Amino acid sequence: MKILFLYPNIARARSPQVGLSSLAGTLEREGHDCRILDITFLEDHEVAGAYRHTLDEYKPDLVGVSCRSTEWETAQTMLRMADPGVPVIVGGPHPTIAPEEVIADERVDMLVRGEGEETIIDLIERIEGGVSLTDMPNLWIKQDGQIYRNDVRPLIQDMDALAMPRWDIWDERHFLEHYQQVFSPEAKIFGDLETSRGCPYSCPYCLTPVMQKLYKGKGKYHREKSAKRIIAEVEKFIADKNIDYVRFVDETFILNRNRLREFCEMYNEINLPFSFSTRPETVSDEMMRLLAGAGARAVSFGLESGNEQYRREMLNRRTKQQEVINAVALAKKYDVKTFAFVMIGLPKETRALIQDTLELIHLLKPDIFQITIFYPFEGTPFYDYCIEEGLIEKDHERLTQIWKGSVLKQPGLPSDYLIRLRELMLAFATHSKRLWPLMYFLEKHPAAFKVWHTTRRIRNRIMRSGKKPTWMKA
């Protein structure tokens, strides 16, 4: 069977989607063919033509869409650009957490909730064998004027049994530019790999609590690939794409200490720089030393808020402030660069709490930090909380890029103010506090901020170009 996947990458982020790569590997192992229509490198006006051309040339037996919540509107638009004449199935995070919305779309015939590797093969075998789909686990399907809503199947427990991911389905440009290049300037080709599934924590702004509830009684939620399997995937990635840097995309890479020790010992033979993510409280001197020795160039920490009490009471993150400080210090001790993630505009947050986040960034001075404006993803505990507290309406605007504004109605934190504050924090957080009075002034004066922001963008473009305009020359 031939399956055409649509990847509505509205954010245009460069990085192959790990889930689709795994599905492609599964299909290949079972003797099926697939192709991906990826809009990452297409202009908006080119998408419709590319979709129609691919349908005419490839003639798929099934069209599948993988999308996150921020991509659902784009996915709907794509599905209306042409009638594929074959069944359409939607999978990924959004249909998992908002299945009623997705199945209600007239262009959608089926949706998959949860993991897709076993589901896609079961689906194909049933279609080819003429077997009914109405009782198939993980599947919601429209048939004869009814919607059949089936429960999820047990989670895949043996992660080593998964097919090897396929990377040849992606445009080469996905591997040539990566934000991690700042940590390894000599690297030219980058690859992303998962080594586990199912975060064991339950942050209310994340989809994890939804997934944990969905899969309750369906097997262990946090599952890991063995060190041997991880090494095999890295070696295959090197053989297929000649990558010279790898990013392990797991939320918590170093939970299993025995696996980590085995991985570091085996990875020493590969000698490929890598980065990973973890929570500050999981870091120890031994682990950071082993990872650095194996080739770790950078570690990402999700800090979210700089206020320990807010993290504990609102975010269900019990990381102590000193644990955060110690983790960053250990990374610096072993020359592992640090990447910090924080959010502003969180539910019930105040400007004073945001100041604590600013102060923490200034104290830690991570090599890179990212600030996003909080967005309540449908289905998450914080989405329900925001509805209950009157912070959002159910029909609120759905953003496609979560750093471009806030949908919450909070006193003192309107969307335009948070946009302004985010830009100022990015510019001033790690600089001398002697400059902060200017930040506070620009924060309170939108007109002055606009002038500063415009001239700053011009200066940055000039610096990146390496050319000085005549007015800057001596």
Residue tagged 């206020």 (tokens): 307
Q: Which two structure tokens, joined as six digits, stand for 403?
A: 């750093």
DSSP-derived 3-state class of residue 198? coil
Q: Both 205 and 87 in a single domain?
A: no
Measured distance CA(244)–CA(272) in Å, rounded: 6
Q: Both 185 and 96 in a single domain?
A: no
Q: Both 205 and 342 in a single domain?
A: yes
Measured distance CA(349)–CA(294) in Å, rounded: 40
pLDDT at 196 over 50: yes
Is position 436 within any domain? no
pTM for this entry: 0.91
Q: Are 279 and 242 in contact (CB under 8 A)?
A: no
Q: What is the mean pLDDT of residues 173-189?
A: 86
- Could you give the angle at the alpha carbon of 468 between the alpha carbons of 467 and 470, nearest 5°? 135
Measured distance CA(179)–CA(23) in Å, rounded: 25
Say what the pLDDT of residue 471 is.
37
CATH number at residue 94: 3.40.50.280
Say what the pLDDT of residue 460 is.
72
Q: What is the mean pLDDT of residues 154-162?
A: 97
Q: Both 252 and 336 in a single domain?
A: yes
Q: What is the mean pLDDT of residues 141-152?
A: 96
Say what the pLDDT of residue 468 is.
46
Closest CA to 313 of 275, 358, 349: 349
Q: What is the mean pLDDT of residues 59-73?
A: 95
Say what the pLDDT of residue 205 is.
95
Q: Both 139 and 183 in a single domain?
A: no
For residue range 250-304, what is the model confidence (pLDDT) as tens digits?
988 988 999 999 999 999 989 899 999 999 999 999 999 999 999 999 999 999 9
Q: What is the mean pLDDT of residues 112-131?
A: 97
DSSP state string for 413-437: --HHHHHHHHHHHHHHTTS-GGGHH
> Model confidence at 474, in pLDDT bands (50, 70, 90)?
very low
Is position 157 within any domain? no
Q: Both 141 and 198 in a single domain?
A: no
Report how far apart, in Å, the C-alpha atoms of 252 and of each of 190, 204, 255 are: 20, 17, 6
> Model confidence at 185, in pLDDT bands (50, 70, 90)?
confident
Q: Are 164 and 137 in contact (CB under 8 A)?
A: no
Say what the pLDDT of residue 465 is.
60
pLDDT at 459 over 80: no
Is position 253 within any domain? yes
| Residues whose CB is less than 8 angstroms from the CB of residue 223 and which lie 6 or more positions away in sequence, other chains included | 155, 156, 157, 159, 196, 197, 198
Say what the pLDDT of residue 462 is.
63
The fraction of the chain above a pLDDT of 70, given in percent, is 96
Of 329, 352, 367, the one marking the end of a domain is 367
Report how far apart, in Å, the C-alpha atoms of 312 and of each of 140, 168, 207, 306 are: 37, 43, 18, 11
- Give the distance, in angstroms, between the CA of residue 433 and the centroid of all CA atoms in the same chain: 32
- Cα four-point dihedral sign 103, 223, 196, 250: positive
Is position 131 within any domain? yes
Weakest-pLDDT range from 90-94, 175-179, 276-280, 365-369: 175-179
For residue range 401-434, what is the model confidence (pLDDT) as tens digits?
766 789 999 999 999 999 999 999 999 999 999 9
Of 335, 367, 399, the one marking the end of a domain is 367
Q: Tell me which DSSP letter residue 175 carries.
A: G
Is position 80 within any domain? yes
For residue range 23-45, what is the model confidence (pLDDT) as tens digits?
999 999 999 999 999 999 999 99
The count of structural domains within the chain is 2
More confident of the two residues 467 and 119: 119
Q: Which two structure tokens, joined as six digits, stand for 38?
A: 């990826």
Closest CA to 309 of 278, 370, 352: 352
Q: Both 141 and 261 in a single domain?
A: no
Of 348, 367, 386, the one marking the end of a domain is 367
Q: Which two structure tokens, joined as six digits, stand for 454?
A: 């415009």
Q: Which two structure tokens, joined as six digits, stand for 36?
A: 């991906």
> Model confidence at 449, in pLDDT bands (50, 70, 90)?
very high
For residue range 299-350, what is the model confidence (pLDDT) as tens digits?
999 999 999 999 999 999 999 999 999 999 999 999 999 999 999 999 999 9
pLDDT at 463 over 70: no
Residue tagged 């299909």 (tokens): 27
Q: Both 132 and 206 in a single domain?
A: no
Q: Both 25 and 135 in a single domain?
A: yes
Q: Are 386 and 57 in contact (CB under 8 A)?
A: no
Q: Which domain holds residue 325?
A: 178-367
Is position 163 within any domain? no
Task: Give the pairing of strands 196-197 and 223-224.
Answer: antiparallel
Beta-strand runs (E) in 176-244 = 190-193, 196-197, 223-224
Q: Are 142 and 106 in contact (CB under 8 A)?
A: no
CATH number at residue 261: 3.20.20.70
pLDDT at 63 over 90: yes
- Cα four-point dihedral sign 425, 429, 430, 432: positive
Q: Both 192 and 141 in a single domain?
A: no
